[in-house]
Chains A and B, each alone.
Chain A
Amino acid sequence: MAQNNVEQTLLGPIKRSEQLIERVLFHRRITFLLLFLVITLALGYQAIQIRPDASFVKMIPTNHPYVQNYLRHRDDLSGLGNSVKIVVQSRTGDIFSAPFQQVLQQVTDEAFFIKGVDRSALKSIWTPNVRWTEVTEEGFVGGPIIPPDYDGSPQSLEKVRQNILRSGQVGLLVANDFKSAIVQVPLFDRDPETGEKLNYQAFSQKLEALIRDKYQNDDIQIRVVGFAKIVGDLIEGAQSVAVFFAIAIVITLALLFIYSGSFAGSLIPIICSLVAVVWQLGLLRWFGYGLDPYSMLVPFLIFAIGVSHAVQVVNTIRLEQVAGADAWLASRRAFRAIYIPGLTALLSDGLGFVTLSVIEIQVIQDLAVAASVGVAVIIITNLLLLPLLMSYTGVGQRAIRQAARRTNAGQHWRHLSVFATPKGAAVATATALVVLVVGLWGSQNLQIGDLDKGAPELRADARYNLDNLFVTENYATSSDIFVVMVATPAEQCSSFATLSRVDYFQRYMAQVEGVQSSVSLADVSKRVTAGLNEGSLKWRSVSRNQFVINASLSYVPAGFMNGDCSLLPVIIFLDDHKAQTLSRVSESVERFAQQHNSSDISFEMAAGNSGFEAATNEVISRAQYEMLAWVYGVVSLLCLLTFRSVRTVVCIIAPLMLTSILCQALMAAMGIGVKVATLPVIALGVGIGVDYGIYIYSRLNTFLLEGRSLPDAYLETLKTTGSSVAFTGLTLAIGVVLWVFSPIKFQADMGILLTFMFLWNMLGALILLPALTCLLRRERRPEGDS
């Protein structure tokens, strides 16, 4: 009785809502069609205007202490946030030729004028802020690297060579082998005048058009590295994403047609799912979001989820039509039949995606919003619009004949229905346990963060990564930078106490495995002090005499201290940005800070791309399991509310968990690390996989209530819903597997992972779900209802 009361309380509103919606929808079909059309046009107009939107800050966890420290000092840390390096390489000789220098000068000038560039911090051997210094009998002399009387003559070039040698820029702005030179271009995340965000796509295009295309020729090669370029390349690659999307749509359409034999029944699901994507993009734009390179796969996922639900609806309509109903009747009945499982599945998808927001990284939170908006929209387009459209067309005579033929030939499902028998169930479950153990063992190796050099979002042989390799091979500084911010009271950053402590800190860090070198204001002071003493190495120390320190810091290059001398960045160059390296580095800094922090000095982490990555890795490793806990929690709760039975929830969720673990093992095996880009994949997989379980179990339950035995009921389920589940899984997998050919490695990796998850979820729902149901029901009498 109590069970009934609970049931009635839960179901009452649902059933009433269904009645209401069904009546209104089917009585006013034309009105709703027009309404949907208008909304589609309005949102379509918005959707067309959606722009790629990437922001450096969105990629990093803004609540993490490291990032908060960075954001606090952000204005003082020019050039460390966001910059690109343009390498001008001579293919035929070295840089000491007049034509090369001319190109280098022109490239420097071009970079100066590109929108978004922090001009005062722009550096190359042609900019006045890069100088050579030398000691003579008279003292300290210096000057710009390119002499004022430079005229391209061999003598001028020889002077330039000497100046470069005396400037300490070899390995920094000039390659070790003197065959290339760098123009370092720091960027503003936000334009200081207009407050606009940096438009990565426009910037990247300008770089290509104004610099690479213009100046690259047989003698000169231009290379560009830096975060902004990665983003720009990804955005360019977004076009290929669109192409793959289109191919997948076509394949899905073709397969749908082959499977259902119905023209309307394949076209309308595709149309409705595309409408869902249009609405999603339109709504996102309306809310002020853009598409960042990491969430550009969400529209396809929305399409995929939409198609899988649409197939269920169309399938049900077809069943009704085979039983004799006309299009209108079949659609209306199918609407009612599918209402609860469809709504539950989509709500658990949506709420599951919403839980991704627990991760405090904006890009993932945006992803959560995009995905849940998309799923909410699918509720309208595929649960409302689809039956509406189908009520006019039906599935067509051809499909009905084909289905009637097939019903008799449904014997091949017998093989699968064996898993609903006790013996089959035992075998299936045992196999699943073995696979589980393998998966757990494999997923131990799952790493957080990047495992490779360069930009892992792109292929190893992508132009960007080749450029990056060139820079690491020919220049002394790595591109993996971890910045420790040393904060002091105002005017104290150059005190002896501060500088000597920083000096000590740098030596401490040099002993940490993975640290290549470091540089800070202390180094400037040491070198200039030596310079002030005729360049003698014996004077290369931080002087205890404050006047000497002050003299040594009379000219400080940009970025080594801030305006009121309260901040001193220590720039640490790492060998790589592997997660272990980063955590080792941050732990070491933490230990040092604990021992040495005081009211006069504090060592704060972190800036620099590796600093952010350290923060991100920490957040991700914490959030990884938190996120899964939330997703599973929400999904389980919804299943519980729908089926009102804990055993059922177990049967549905267990296969999903198996898939999640196997996916982690797969990621470990493929060398994909858990990062901002890949973190949501598993949660997405859960969201999509639960649909299968809900649909199959709903049908199975109905047959069981009719009094059939489990194997029988399951056979019937397979004949009706099972085929559409299998079909959906295969079609989506085929559509996604094409991504393997994408030039964007990140998309290719996602393709493999999603293919795996689609297929494995399908198998889990078809094989493991009935097996578990069988096992869990053995304790009760076979005739009992759920």
Chain B
Amino acid sequence: MLSKNCLRMQGYPLYWLLLLLLVLPLSSITVASDRLEQPAQIAIHPERSLLLDITRVGSRLVAVGEQGTIIWSDDQGEQWQQADVPVSVLLTAVAFADSNNGWAVGHDGAILRSSDRGETWQRVADGNVVNQWQVARYEHLNAAGTDPRTPEVSADDFAVMLDDALFAQEEGATYPLLDVFFSDAQHGFILGAYGLLLRTSDGGDSWQVDSHVVPNIDRFHLNSMAQIADRLFIAGEAGVLFRSLDQGQHWEALASPYEGSFFKLQASEQAGLERLYVMGLRGHLFYSDDFGEQWQQVLLETTASLTAATVADTTLLFAGSGGFVATGDAPDALASQRLSSRASISQAAAVEPFWVLVGETGVVRLMQGDDSHGAE
């Protein structure tokens, strides 16, 4: 029993120690409360969760989706394992810069990085950090009054952008990131809602806000990026198309064949032909053989939104909402089918001999060359 004198002599530290001892047990009961802080829950069948993107790294498939789910498979999508992920937000995209380093992005501005082929992930930034980057960037540009890369953007525009950035910062980590793309181990891009564009040139150690470099005055969502023959392309909401010929230093707007949203760009290099596909709302699919100058439409008799595309050797696959899947060797030779589950497909990958699709009901595998309605 400590006497009063003892306590007085010991003073505050003891008091705080006691308080801490009281508080600690209590605080260990309540769990971290925000989904940006909560690690992803381990699921029994994570491959049945809502999955939004899938990519190949070597022979491994990595897929990302709801509540921080990231899974990988080394046996062509037969069995999957769940990765350690420090967040519980919906992850929208995944890409690998090289055979070890992967990047995943998602809602609330979450940016994750893995250096062990996708088995464990660390949080690089969240929406608050991205907001800080934006504010810092536009404060700088506002002060400078101009950016040499974008002479057409005026000082007033920068002031407006700064206001927007400050407003976004007040709102918090609300903007979703929609795609991530690495053209090589060092150069990568992250696309987001409301025209957000982040660029890295050092393999992701640092990121720069390049939203204003894209001529996207209406701040349409940037949905997908693809590269063909050293040219980068961005497709987005309301049919916007942008092209960069210099690895993202400058971006130009392209004339769009469609006023509705584009969800996916897919590059295809079959038989020496460098072709770029763009697809989106209500079954619209276009391709261009001249790097985006002119577009041909592929008429698919569907109003399903097309969101997924991939290429396997010579065969193309397009898929989208309501379980729509079209495959074929050429745009005019596409056979379409509907998965019997009618589950919407978000993304697809090809690994011999399967098409591995991900979407509303998780992983769906189809045999390449098979017209049946869903093999899984």
Interface residues of A (CB under 8 A from B): 135-137, 165, 170, 497, 500-501, 503-504, 507-508, 510-511, 513, 533-541, 543-545, 548, 594-596, 598
Contact = CB atoms under 8 A, between A and B. Distances in A.
Given A536-B305, A541-B176, 11 more contacts: A135-B305, A136-B282, A500-B35, A504-B67, A504-B88, A507-B41, A535-B305, A536-B263, A537-B346, A541-B89, A545-B171
A137 B307 contact: no
B297 to A, nearest CB: 16
Nearest to A598: B30
Contact of B174 (A513, A539, A543): A543
Nearest to B35: A500
Interface string B22-66: 000000011101110010011110000010100000000000001
A595 B29 contact: yes
Given A511-B44, A544-B174, A137 B259 contact: yes
Query: Which 4 pairs of residues, A with B, have the shortest CB-CB distance?
Result: A541-B90, A544-B174, A545-B174, A137-B260
B305 A165 contact: no
B260 A537 contact: no
A350 to B, nearest CB: 50
15 contacts: A137-B282, A504-B41, A507-B41, A507-B88, A510-B44, A511-B41, A511-B43, A534-B305, A537-B52, A538-B223, A540-B50, A541-B90, A544-B173, A595-B30, A595-B31
B174 A537 contact: no
B30 A510 contact: no
Contacts of A508: 41
Contacts of A513: 44
A524 to B, nearest CB: 15
Contacts of B359: 537
Contacts of B108: 544
Contacts of A594: 29
B344 A537 contact: yes
A534 B29 contact: no
Contacts of B43: 507, 510-511
B149 interface: no
A541 B69 CA distance: 13
Interface residues of B, number: 46
A507 B43 CA distance: 8
Contacts, number: 91
Given A504-B35, A504-B67, A539 B176 contact: yes
A541 B305 CA distance: 19
B285 interface: no
A405 B38 CA distance: 89
B117 to A, nearest CB: 24
A598 B26 CA distance: 12
Given A507-B43, A545-B171, A540 B30 contact: no
Given A510-B43, A537-B346, A137 B90 contact: no
B140 interface: no
Nearest to A536: B263
B178 interface: yes
B350 to A, nearest CB: 20
B90 A540 contact: yes
A538 B176 contact: yes
Contacts of A533: 221
Contacts of A543: 174
Interface in B321-376: 321-322, 342, 344, 346, 359-360
A507 B67 contact: yes
A226 B57 CA distance: 51
Interface string B220-240: 010100000000000001000
Contact of A165 (B67, B260, B322): B322
Interface in B258-315: 259-261, 263, 281-282, 305, 307
A579 B171 CA distance: 47
Contacts of B263: 536
Contact of B360 (A503, A537, A596): A537
Nearest to A513: B44
Nearest to A530: B344
Contacts of A541: 66, 89-90, 107, 176
Contacts of B307: 536-537
B92 interface: yes
Nearest to B177: A538
Contacts of B50: 537, 540
Contacts of A545: 171, 174
A348 B90 CA distance: 65
B38 A504 contact: yes
A220 B80 CA distance: 45
B178 A544 contact: no
A594 B29 CA distance: 7
Nearest to B345: A537
Nearest to B107: A541
Contact of B261 (A170, A497, A503, A534): A534
B172 interface: yes
A541 B344 CA distance: 16
Nearest to B304: A535
Contacts of A534: 237, 260-261, 281, 305
Contacts of B223: 536, 538
A471 B89 CA distance: 35
B178 A538 contact: yes
B30 A596 contact: yes
Interface in B178-198: 178
A47 B206 CA distance: 87
A537 B106 CA distance: 12
Contacts of B35: 500, 503-504
A543 B175 CA distance: 9
A596 B31 contact: yes
B342 A170 contact: yes
Contact of A538 (B33, B41, B52): B52
Contacts of B282: 136-137
Nearest to B358: A537
Nearest to B173: A544
Contacts of B31: 595-596
A707 to B, nearest CB: 74
Interface in B59-95: 66-67, 88-90, 92
Contacts of B107: 541, 544
B281 A137 contact: yes
Nearest to A537: B346
A594 B172 CA distance: 28
A642 B127 CA distance: 81
Nearest to A545: B174
B41 to A, nearest CB: 5
A538 B67 CA distance: 12
B360 A165 contact: no
A720 to B, nearest CB: 68
Contacts of A170: 342
A537 B305 CA distance: 10
B365 to A, nearest CB: 19
Contacts of A503: 35, 67
Contact of A511 (B42, B89, B305, B344): B42
Contacts of B261: 137, 534, 536
A538 B346 contact: yes
| A508, A513, A535, A536, most chain B CB atoms within 10 A | A536
A173 to B, nearest CB: 16
A84 to B, nearest CB: 28
Interface in B2-17: none
A564 to B, nearest CB: 24
Contacts of B237: 534
A165 B303 CA distance: 13
A350 B50 CA distance: 60
A176 B256 CA distance: 40
| A170, A501, A503, A538, most chain B CB atoms within 10 A | A538
